[in-house]
Structure 1
Amino acid sequence: MKYSIDEVSRAVSSASRRRLLEHVARGPATMSALADHLDLSLPAVDKHLKVLGSAGLVTKTKTGRVTQITLDPRGLDAMATWVERTRAHWAGAMQRYTDHLEDR
């Protein structure tokens, strides 16, 4: 699966979805447990999980009537790589600007 930084950004732009990710980062959770923990309805949890799943951040495994949600951090790895490259670029640009000002 190719991880789209745009989809990951959209997925983590919601506080509810970030809280869902934080919860499943501690270990797999059922949809009911997520709904109870975050005080959301099951349809709201399902809606958020679809966005997170489309971004490649979580996986769902259904056994009978129970759906387990597991974190898939590979989408976050793609985002972290982009953030680090961007941070390095701007840190370098700011250092060059500072050096330029000091040379004056």
Structure 2
Amino acid sequence: MVQYKLAPLDAAFAALSDATRRGVLEQLGHGECSITALAVRFNMTLTGIKKHISILEQAGLVVTEKTGRVRTCRLGPGRLEDEAAWIERYRQRWALRFDALDDIIDELKQGEGQNVGSE
């Protein structure tokens, strides 16, 4: 399988698309943790959790450090500001569309009320 370097926004959303990876970020929000402890926490093999950690690392959301035989994970420098801004732009667009739809519905309701009284 050919793998391409994802743009930072794509890498972050790809990393966040998986419930286990979101759980790992939640766990690391409480403090750093070894890969072994994460594997136990999420009932996964070391190989499986390492793949998830690798994806989070590529997105800049997690940093790992090896001390002796233990690899420790902690939250990385990625603060999801660009991703939040992207989501906010779409939230605003949808809010405008729903507001316009509400206006149309109100107009239709007013039109129905006028038609009922004229019958």
2:58 to 54, 72, 86: 54
Identity %: 35
Structure 2 residue corresponding to 1:45, chosen from 41, 44, 49: 49
SS in 2 for 1:67: strand
Number of aligned pairs? 102
- Asked whether 1:23 is paired with 2:5, we answer no
Q: Distance in 2 between matches of 1:24 and 1:38?
A: 13
> Per the alignment, in what secondary structure is the counterpart of residue 74 of structure 1?
coil
* TM-score, structure 1 normalization: 0.84
Q: CA deviation at 1:101?
A: 4.5
Q: Which runs of 5+ in 2 are unaligned?
A: 1-6, 109-119
- Which whole-Å deviations, capped at 9, do the CAs of 1:65-97 have from their partners, x for residues lacking one? 221111126252222121111101110122133
- Asked if structure 2 preserves the Cα contact closer than 8 Å seen for 1:59 and 1:70, the reply is yes
Q: Is 1:83 the counterpart of 2:87 in the alignment?
A: yes
Q: CA deviation at 1:61?
A: 1.4
TM-score between the two structures when normalised by the length of structure 2: 0.75
Q: Is the 8 Å Cα contact of residues 28 and 69 (structure 1) preserved in structure 2?
A: yes
| Greater relative contact order (CA < 8 Å, ≥ 6 in sequence) | 1
Q: 2:59·2:78 contact (CA, 8 Å) conserved in 1? A: no
Q: Which has the greater radius of gyration?
A: 2
Farther off after superposition, 76-85 or 48-57? 76-85
Do structure 1's residue 14 and structure 2's residue 11 form an aligned pair? no
Give secondary structure in 2 for the equivalent of 1:51: helix
Give the root-mean-square deviation of aligned CA atoms: 1.9
Give the drift of 1:23.
0.9
Corresponding residue SS for 1:61? strand
Secondary structure, in 3 states, of the residue corresponding to 1:60?
Answer: strand
Secondary structure of 1:10 counterpart: helix
